[in-house]
Chain A
Amino acid sequence: MHSLAHSLARCALANGARIVVNSPVSEVIIVDGEAKGVRVSGDSLLDDKTIWADRGVILNTHVKQIPDLISRDHVNTTFVQRIEDLSLKGGSLFVTNLIVKELPVYKDAPEEFSPDDYPVGMSLHCDTDNVMELMRTIHSFRMHPEHPDEYAGIWYIVHDQHDPTRGRAKKAGAEGHVITVNLQVPAPEYHRDGPDAVNKVKDEIVDNIKTVLRQYAPNMTDDKYIATPTNTPYDSEFRNMAFVGGNWEGARSSQDEWWSNKPLPEMARYRTPIAGLYHCHQTAYPGGLCLIAVPYNLMHILIEDYPEMKKSTPDWWYPSPWHITDEEGGTK
């Protein structure tokens, strides 16, 4: 996936954008209720510099980060409270990469199901009752599954079968395959025993995953594992501050936080209570995954708000034929 990021970055640079890394923004500067720039944190490459923005600021941060970036003088208390209330449930993943000497061979599997041709993603232990019970453990009792039997719907991806560029180890002469395993667990914020509860039992969870895998593929004995680098939701959040809750969907997909309520009703069209400040993250509509829908949709809104862009957008831009502008009654 990172190649996609590279190509987009090249594209942006070619069109004249500037990209500065290692520069966490610590504050959006707001003047007269309008976003006028950002201040970059003191311990960054840019060293506490201010970047002024003539037209506006676009946030690619998780909605839960917004209250930390804008001074509360500019929004009212209910705005902050409602952001705090947004549910992060539903997609927090415990991710472990199993680096293994050989691929699993499934017992009782039909012949055509051979390691040379495994599908990209597979699920184990996946009957409806198991999955429902797991959801109940996570969402209702706010616990991670403790016993291997509860590990329903583990799903995993066999990488290097389909993308040999991933199998670096193999290239380097070592035997090895990478299998990424995802297991749902509660978001750190909701865990009954505190945000670091899953981190405390990281090794046990990996062992349980191995046990489940071995039930299906008896060849996966302990000696087949080279290493198991693992990210709990908490770790994901640590690596990318915008992965709040380590939720791969950003925030819960539920009817109260969906469509024109996503993430908050007044932000559904990517605008924020601050003029000139836009929100363009997977926590905005339509939501998670690398759909690239958020920035595309945002373009429509920006062209509405900055009519001069209409003149400067080259011929290649055409709005979605279904887009209803505010003026035409989309929201007014």
Chain B
Amino acid sequence: MSEAAFRRHRPSPSAGLELPPEFPEESETDVVVIGAGPNGLIAAAYLTAAGLDVTLLERRYEIGGGLATEEILFPHHYANTHASYHYMVDYMPPIDDFDLTGHGLRYHKPFGQTGAVMGSDYVYLCRAFEDTRDSLARFGLDQADVYGAMGSRFRTIVERILGPATYLPPDAPVDLTEALQRDDVGRDMLDLSEQSALEILDRYELRDSVKATFLYMACQWGLSPAESGMGFMVPLLIDRGMQKAFVHGGSHRLASAFARVILRQGGIILDNAEVVQILTDGERASGVMLEDGRKIHARKAVLSSLDPQTTFLHLLPAEAAPEGLRESARGWNWDKWSLLSVFFATKGKPTWRDNRDNSMIGMPDPFATILGFEGSDDVVRFLDGVERGELPKIAGHFTCESAFDPALSQKEGEHVSFFQMPAPYDFPWEERRDDLVRQVTDLLDTHFGGIPRLGHAGGRGVAEVHRAADAEHGPWLDQARRLQPDPDGQQPPQRRLLVESHAGRGPVPVRRLDVPRRDGHRWARLHRRTDRLRRQRDEVPVRLPRPRTPVPRHVLPRRQGRRPARLTASEMHRGAADGGCHPVTGGCRKTRES
């Protein structure tokens, strides 16, 4: 922009509040997407890629929804307030389709995946199958064998069916069952679907502590131990539960990566833009109205990433709803329980008191550690209680996130962790808050050698630290609202982990799974894609862009003393200055003209 043009656009000081509106009162676009959580973002990314005009609307001050990473404790300490464990990265097509790993998005799967202190046993499960067998063999060689049989059965079902099928639109249950019945693995999966998590695990002669660990892994996100008909979730949650990844730098990076794609492809993202009504024109959704009265008309479609009740009972005017829709939305069930999360900032990494078996000394810490349970009956009793709306005791899973992702704490030596547990949604949280935090702290204290206190609150207990943090920095006790609309607008309504795309019951969509017979080539392609995804998933070569003229050898950085030569920051950026993308962030340098 020329100097003169800039002056013309700059409001004169006297214009005061008459700034031109950031966004017009009425505007038009091809598609309006409501909600910028992962699902809204990815939808907008595909639609902009397809050449459509897209406006993505987010109620909060920041996009991301469940992919939030925020400084809820103290400045410089980031916490993933909702999603931190990414189960399906080996299969997710959008990451590949938008080449996100080429733009600074990095996943990492820790070696130690799940640990559980169960009664007097310490169960330790790793990313590598054989290493998990080794670990279970501590309890007897039979345990390694039983796990070997169970684990490979589960893995086959996930790799052949559930993994790829997660990324296919659902088919009618009849077609699905028919397709599954044509295949050995499919029949096995149908068989599992009929059973409850408890029944499935009972078929294996697992030691109780090991069974309890798998039971918790299968049920921690909302499956009841005795519930049948959803048995296919058991292999999925157990197998993928040992393949959890996290996004380096916080889950929000995944959201920002998609936001960049949308913007690059010409989409518009508005935050602080709450949709209060879906506008209709006859039987068509024709746009939305925002809280401040602005209207955005949609030439082609309105896409809601919110739950059915918010969408069809609150946003869509009753008179516009086709017959039966409202009843059907009312009949949609919320999840049976929610999650309670307590976040901690600590000085130093929580270290084990080492009441664990000494053959585990020096093994890499597990990403998630299950604490507070005695055995499988205890897990069942606990979840039953939660389902009835009680909080029978404090037990759940713990992760010190910054121990795996140092970017989450930018203060040397300080760490962020969270403790999370299934909990009822309706509960006297306000009254019980202090008491609960104390109990959580006590539980952690029995396992970790007293969590060192954060400097900011020297001399006080962890609970006080967090009370102080609460006062100064907002909420630390986050009653997560899984599957619940959110009355005070703080937290995004969350839907059930991993099952969200098929909210109705019944087996997942897998009709195309008999493709190998009809069309081996396509099947092979699917596998190849998965293979390639896996390869790219956690690793991106950081390729520095080539400068236009080759650097003459004599000016190459030369090692001084024993220090290895590194490219300097300016050398790293030289590529960007030439118009390329930044090698790490993928950001492009703005040219002077723009």
The segment from B285-293, B296-304, B390-398, B563-571 that touches chain A is B563-571
Looking at the complex, which one of B109, B110, B128 makes contact with A87 (CB distance below 8 Å)?
B128
Majority-rule SS of B interface residues: loop
Q: Is A168 an interface residue (CB 8 A)?
A: no
Majority-rule SS of A interface residues: mixed
Asked whether, in the complex, the Cβ of A27 is within 8 Å of the Cβ of B547, the reply is: no
Looking at the complex, which one of B131, B135, B538, B559 makes contact with A78 (CB distance below 8 Å)?
B538
Q: Is B344 an interface residue (CB 8 A)?
A: no
Asked whether, in the complex, the Cβ of A252 is within 8 Å of the Cβ of B559, the reply is: no
Cα separation A142 to B109 with both chains bound (whole Å): 23
B446 → chain A closest CB, angstroms: 24
Q: Which residues of A contact B565 (CB under 8 A)?
A: 27, 29, 71
Q: Is B531 an interface residue (CB 8 A)?
A: yes
**Residue among B130, B540, B544, B547 with max Cβ neighbours from chain A (10 Å):** B130
Asked whether, in the complex, the Cβ of B130 is within 8 Å of the Cβ of A87, the reply is: yes
Given contacts A33-B542, A192-B362, A329-B528, contact A136 B141 (CB under 8 A): yes
Cα separation A275 to B583 with both chains bound (whole Å): 14
Q: Is A274 an interface residue (CB 8 A)?
A: yes
Asked whether, in the complex, the Cβ of A79 is within 8 Å of the Cβ of B566, the reply is: no
Cα separation A42 to B563 with both chains bound (whole Å): 12
Query: How many residues does chain B have at the interface if contact means C-beta atoms less than 8 Å apart?
Result: 52
Q: Which residues of B contact A265 (CB under 8 A)?
A: 531, 534-535, 537, 539
Cα separation A136 to B537 with both chains bound (whole Å): 33
Interface string of A68-105 (1 = CB under 8 A from B): 00010111111101100101010000000000000000
Asked whether, in the complex, the Cβ of B106 is within 8 Å of the Cβ of A76, the reply is: yes
Cα separation A81 to B256 with both chains bound (whole Å): 24
Asked whether, in the complex, the Cβ of A82 is within 8 Å of the Cβ of B108, the reply is: yes
Given contacts A254-B128, A260-B535, contact A139 B134 (CB under 8 A): yes
Interface string of A137-176 (1 = CB under 8 A from B): 0011111000000000000000000000000000000000
Q: Is A207 an interface residue (CB 8 A)?
A: no
**Residue among A74, A260, A274, A275 with max Cβ neighbours from chain B (10 Å):** A74
- Report B534-554 residues with CB < 8 Å from chain A CB: 534-547, 551, 553
Asked whether, in the complex, the Cβ of A255 is within 8 Å of the Cβ of B539, the reply is: no
Looking at the complex, which one of B137, B528, B539 makes contact with A82 (CB distance below 8 Å)?
B539
Asked whether, in the complex, the Cβ of B135 is within 8 Å of the Cβ of A140, the reply is: yes
Cα separation A265 to B541 with both chains bound (whole Å): 12
Looking at the complex, which one of B108, B137, B361, B567 makes contact with A139 (CB distance below 8 Å)?
B137
Q: Is A264 an interface residue (CB 8 A)?
A: yes
Q: Which residues of B contact A217 (CB under 8 A)?
A: none
Interface string of B18-57 (1 = CB under 8 A from A): 0000000000000000000000000000000000000000
Q: Which residues of A contact B539 (CB under 8 A)?
A: 76, 78-79, 82, 264-266, 273
Q: Is A32 an interface residue (CB 8 A)?
A: yes
Q: Is A6 an interface residue (CB 8 A)?
A: no
Cα separation A76 to B536 with both chains bound (whole Å): 13
Q: Which residues of B contact A275 (CB under 8 A)?
A: 541, 543
Asked whether, in the complex, the Cβ of A76 is within 8 Å of the Cβ of B358, the reply is: no
Q: Which residues of A contact B536 (CB under 8 A)?
A: 266
Asked whether, in the complex, the Cβ of B128 is within 8 Å of the Cβ of A256, the reply is: yes
Q: Is A299 an interface residue (CB 8 A)?
A: no
B→A interface (CB under 8 Å) = 106-111, 127-131, 134-135, 137-138, 141, 144, 248, 358-359, 361-362, 364, 528, 531-532, 534-547, 551, 553, 556, 559, 562, 564-567, 572, 575, 583
